[in-house]
Structure 1
Amino acid sequence: MDDTPDKDANAAKLKGKTAPSSKVSGKGNGKGGDKRDAQRRGGMRSIAALVPGLTRQAIGKRGFTTAKIVTDWARIVGPDLARQSQPEQLRFARGERDRGTLTIRVDGPLATELMHLEPQVIERINGYFGYNAVARLKLIQAPIRRPGADGPRKAPKPPQRPLNATETESLDARLAHIEDPELRERLHRLGRAVLRRDTATKPDQE
């Protein structure tokens, strides 16, 4: 894709934790094994029920990583990107459990901008989980499903940390070749949001 930022340009690479396994420990057979299988499937269904709009079948098949991408999306990519995008499903090649294709629903104007930030977004996801869970993004331009629109108001967001001089200069240099000033400003805004996430908290070890 044209004008794609260099993956190595992130101010700091994350060292994420390996996602816990979703397997049920212990051997089971007969009624005991069936009961544990039912509990595991029930757990996957309960996760999907908490997140309207996600692909429930994908969560049931792919387990922990797919569910966490959906539930932790704002923590992974930052609130600015999360408000305009929504992960739909994570698909892997037959027999594989890594380097999958993540389908993301995006608001119309964001699609072009997110194409430029694809390497950084993939790095954010893989750094969050500690392995190459995602190799590419597939973008779908469609309205974002917003659960709980009529629910209670959330607390105000804390102030965002400013970028340091090195981060600002690096971002300016990467976007200098983009002639459209409006597109360059949007990419600059999204780039700042991604760089701020370098200080985000990793998921707790389970």
Structure 2
Amino acid sequence: MHLPRSLSQSIDAIARQSIGKDWGLYAALLDRWTEIVGKEYAENTTPVKITFPHQPQEQRRQSGTLTIKLPKGLAMEFTFKSEAVKQRINAYFGYEAISKIVLEPSFSKVPAIKAAEKIVDKAALDKIGSAINTIENKELANVLQSFGETLLRHADDR
């Protein structure tokens, strides 16, 4: 019989196989990517990998190369911003973790434009509201109100 094991041990082993022993640094970078590059760039760029030169005596890996995947049209613009991004990454980690940024331009899908929100029948909303007013638990009433509005908006989608 096998005893339950911690999930973190399995995740650590899988991450080390796929990303390498510096997966913690990469995971921290992914977690803070929006803060480092800003919301606009974070939606269109992705850090792909970090490689380091051979440094057997160093405790912390330094002077790494960060590869960033981004749309071809954004590559030139991001080139001008890459020095600032490198400085922000190094400031976040507190040492020179990244010394070079390599851009990997790719053809990517154009983000889908959100459809305009559908107008819901006022009478139907009032009917839901009056039915929910009898519920004493306000949290439940709010959730049911939101659920009813969502159902009305997507009634034609079926």
TM range (shorter): 0.5 to 0.7
Give the number of the structure with larger relative contact order, counting CA–CA contacts within 8 Å between residues 6 or more apart. 1
Structure 2 counterpart of 1:86: 46
* Match status 1:57 vs 2:18: yes
Runs of 4+ in structure 1 off by over 2 angstroms are 38-45
Structure with larger Rg: 2
1:150-205: CA deviations, max 9, x gaps? xxxxxxxxxxxxxxxxxxxxxxxxxxxxxxxxxxxxxxxxxxxxxxxxxxxxxxxx
Structure having the higher helix fraction is: 2
Give the alignment partner of residue 75 of structure 2, picking from 99, 111, 134.
Answer: 111
Q: Are the structure 2 counterparts of residues 102 and 144 from structure 1 closer, same or farther at C-alpha, using a change threshold of 3 Å?
A: farther
Q: Secondary structure at the match of 1:117?
A: helix
Q: Distance in 1 between matches of 2:8 and 2:40?
A: 36
Q: Distance in 1 between matches of 2:71 and 2:46?
A: 9
Identity of aligned residues (%): 31
Q: Are the structure 2 counterparts of residues 83 and 40 from structure 1 closer, same or farther at C-alpha, using a change threshold of 3 Å?
A: same
Report the AA paired with residue 42 of structure 1.
I
Q: What TM-score comes out, normalization by structure 2 length? A: 0.55
Q: Distance in 1 between matches of 2:39 and 2:17?
A: 23
Q: Secondary structure at the match of 1:98?
A: coil
Structure 2 counterpart of 1:42: 11
Report the AA paired with residue 85 of structure 2.
V
Q: Secondary structure at the match of 1:112?
A: helix
* Match status 1:67 vs 2:27: yes
Q: What TM-score comes out, normalization by structure 1 length? A: 0.43
Structure 1 counterpart of 2:90: 126
Task: Output aligned runs, 1:1-206, within 5 Å.
Answer: 39-43=8-12, 45=14, 57-58=18-19, 60-95=20-55, 97-143=61-107
Runs (5+) with no aligned partner, structure 1: 1-34, 49-54, 150-206
